[in-house]
Structure 1
Amino acid sequence: MKLVSKTALGIVLALGSVSIAALPAQAQKKPKEEKAAPLKLSKEFREAAGPIDKVYKAQDWPGTMAAIDAAEPAAKTPEEIYTLNQYRLDVGTKTQNTAAQEKAITAMLGTGLLPAADVGKYHFFAGKFASDRKDYAKAETEYAAAAAANYATTDLYLSQAKIYADTGKYPQVLTTLEKAIQAEEATGKKAPEDWYKFGFGQAYKGKLNSEVTRWTMMHVKAYPSAENWRTALVLFRDSQNPADKPLIDLYRLMLATDSLAGEKDHYEYAFLASRAGLPGEAKLVLDHLKASKSPGTSPDVNELHKEVTAKVAGDRASLAAEEKSAAGAANGVSASGVANAYLGYGDYAKAVTLYELALQKGGVDADEVNTRLGIALARQGQKDAAKAAFAKVQGAPRAGIAQYWTAWLDKTA
């Protein structure tokens, strides 16, 4: 992925043509009532540098560079070093000589004569050249100096992120990449999708599970396609390895976001639902598969569909009695179980009532019940109540699942 924009690659943005008298403004600054002092260039330097201007004006770039190199031993003071390296930088830019450009920039920074407004920019280019040479330690140092000099640009942040990625510093990648996104948004632009993909890819590579969740969530909020939802939820599943019950709730979100893909996803979801005693939900998922563009045709899919279909009528008929029994139970376990069934059948109103009863009676996994209460409320369109339920979910991996559901709510009409 290409992180750095083309504008970051043109050192010519920093400089135009120069002459031997072109010292920076701050080197000449005097009180307003005083005239600027003449440049302090020694006789030795003036004599050594004399041939430069003639070949420069003739646009003889090899000759100019040779004259610069010949005069270098005579450049002793900061003013002389700066003046000489203005020429070197300009000619190096015109001839695309990156070694000369880097040498000039480093020398000019060392003089302390650069205008304050240019210091960060020069450190940035010094870092860029070092990065191109794979001198990552120097590049990191130069980029940090650019940031310290208030060179706050997306190109700097992206360049830093690339260096950190190349050196395996994953937390720093994410910190600087997020700064790039914020800087881009501050200009009224939307950050490119590749930046988000790079972020969660680095988080996954660095085994930063909480950051995988956060960055994939940022991605789907910015670019909420079914494909991106699938990527986010699959990465979360693979990084968190949730048990069956929370995995069902993750699959429920894949169904809601239309990000179940093909026979494998549908079969795994339906199998888990069937094993959890939810034949109605298992049948709904397999019916969804059969109505899709790529209906399942494997014997396993057909067998499971036949099995759960045979159970639905009896299961649904038993719910009224189970609901009544749950109301008189000493704890909320039965109420939660019946609520799960109603949720699977799409009877969200009854599911909400029973989940709330389960929480009131206690003796249940509050994170599980609040997750599913939030799902039932979300599926009814009760956004605020659903978000309140999801906000109560604390433990991993359910807290992440609840956050994804909340992100989905934020994007629904």
Structure 2
Amino acid sequence: MAGTTLGAASPALAQKKPEAAKPAPPKLSKPVMAVVMAVQKLQQAGDHAGALAKLTEAAAVPRAEKDDALILAKLKLFSAQTIKDNAKLEEGLTEAVEAPSITPDEKLMFSKFVAGLASNRKDYGKAWTWYEFYLGQKPDDVEITVQAASVAAALKQPARVYELLTKAIDLREAKNETGDRSWYEFRAQTAIDNKMDDKLLPSLLGWVKAFPEPKSYNLAIGLVKQRQGNLDNNVLVDFGRLMSAAGAMTDANNYLEYADAALDRGMPNEAEIVLKEGIAKQLLDGSKQNIKEFVAQAASKNAESKAGLAALEKDAKTSPRLALVVADTFANLKQYDKAITWYKTLVGNAMIDQDTVNLRLAFALKNSGDAAGAKAALANVKAGPRAIIAKFMDVVIGDAA
């Protein structure tokens, strides 16, 4: 997000746009006219360094007439641009935007170049002054908005950085386009570094929505999970399901944490599936003794769980707590229709945490192919870590639908 740099390919700053009517000749004082003639003679001879030196000598000449300052500034622009002298170019631009006779259109155009050149040499106060002026009249200029955000960052104004990057992203997305990856990442990093807790989740959701990739999901979900404090295995299972659904299981720890939580919560089939997937992807080493024992333990408990399911179903008819276990077990066995039926019997039951029920119902509906139903269930997840999981899952389903 660097400032504008002007060089050989820069616009011809000293040239005016063609006008329908012939403009009136500039009104110059005699001392300035003498300087103009001397400078133009040097320029015509190709001596632009000499022309700039002559203009420097004339700095003390009074600008008595309304066009004096602008004409001298434009002469400086012409020579500075020709020999690619950015210091003199910035001087000329600054003198031009401050000249009393400059047109509003030229002042607007020149102001963004003043800002860019000032930013390049780290004069961020001056850069911000002219970016602010420009954006006050051209608020929908995305590239300048991003450059202004960079300057705001240098000035240590995080709230303004976040606001400007959000505006740039919104402008692009309003056209069904995606902003540059760095905009989303810088916005999220700004929220993290400056403890902007109310803005962190929206920025991360915006990032993964724009770039629904394993790496972005893994980092974003990991960041919000870390900020939830110590989570019990019941919640870690749901985070694991989210990571899996998002394709965000990118390292061994992701698989081990998910499998351990699932096994602890009586979901051995899920633990076994997760471990075998990690081995298949070569993120877990199936030849290591601890992994072998982990898989064997999950497989053994899985067999026990399946054997006892019929009896558990009978008892679950009078026990909401057991009904949730049955629903989870069917979901683990990928028997989603049965899982959905059991979860739905628990919707609205005050004895069971409704965020848990609705989130797991959403997972089952999504896995059964009912994206619309899943999104409706996610909308009923209201608080705590599961509400965060639901927001990410809504993005995942939106991408897949």
Q: 1:192 aligns with which of 160, 166, 180?
A: 180
| Residues 284 and 80 (structure 1), Cα distance of their counterparts in 2 relative to 1, 3 Å cut | same
Is 2:5 the counterpart of 1:9?
A: yes
Question: Equivalent residue for 2:298?
Answer: 308
In the alignment, what sits opposite 1:63? 50
Q: Does 1:85 align with 2:73?
A: yes
**1:248, 1:269 within 8 Å by CA — same for their partners in 2?**
yes
* d(CA) in 1 for partners of 2:397, 2:155: 38
| CA shift in 2, pair 1:226/1:85, >3 Å | same
2:27 aligned with 1:40, yes or no?
Answer: yes
Determine if the alignment matches structure 1 residue 388 to structure 2 residue 376.
yes
Q: Is the 8 A contact 2:6 2:86 kept in 1?
A: no
Alpha carbons 1:339, 1:351 under 8 Å: kept: yes
> Which residue identity does 1:285 align to in structure 2?
V
Match of 2:343 among 355, 359, 364: 355
Any unmatched runs of 5+ in structure 1?
A: none
Q: Distance in 2 between matches of 1:186 and 1:113?
A: 38
1:274 aligns with 2:263: yes
Farther off after superposition, 100-109 or 204-213: 204-213
Alignment correspondent of 1:233:
221
What is the deviation of 1:81?
0.8
Cα displacement string for residues 50-102 of structure 1 (whole angstroms, at most 9, x for unaligned residues): 31110011110111001111222224244111110111122222222222122
Contact preservation (8 Å) 2:278, 2:284: yes
**Residue number among 223, 235, 246 corresponding to 1:257 in the alignment:** 246
Q: State the match for 2:280 in structure 1.
A: 291
**RMSD between aligned residues:** 2.7
* 1:10 maps to amino acid: L
1:242 and 1:350 map into 2 onto residues whose CA distance is 32
Provide the TM-score with structure 2 as the length reference. Answer: 0.89
Report the secondary structure of 1:59's partner residue.
coil
Q: 1:51 aligns with which of 19, 23, 38?
A: 38
- Partner amino acid for 1:337? V
Identity %: 27
Q: 1-side partners of 2:62 and 2:170: how far apart?
A: 44
Q: CA deviation at 1:376?
A: 1.0
- Greater CA drift, 106-115 or 142-151: 106-115
Change (3 A) 1:381 1:157: same
Aligned to 2:138: 150
The alpha-carbon distance between structure 1 residues 333 and 121, as it changes in their structure 2 partners (threshold 3 A), is farther
1:411 alignment counterpart: 399
Cα drift, residue 4 of structure 1: 4.6
- Mapped to 2, the partners of 1:123 and 1:242 lie a distance apart of 52
Q: Where in structure 2 are there 5+ consecutive unaligned residues?
A: none
Contact 1:237–1:247 under 8 Å retained in 2: no
Alignment of 1:312-351 (within 5 A): 312-329=302-319, 332-351=320-339
Cα pair 1:270 1:285 within 8 Å, conserved: yes
Measured in 2, the distance between the counterparts of 1:186 and 1:119 equals 29
Deviation, 1:333, is: 3.1
- Which residue in the other structure is 2:210 paired with? 222
Paired amino acid for 1:52 = V
TM-score (norm 1): 0.86
**Do structure 1's residue 167 and structure 2's residue 155 form an aligned pair?**
yes
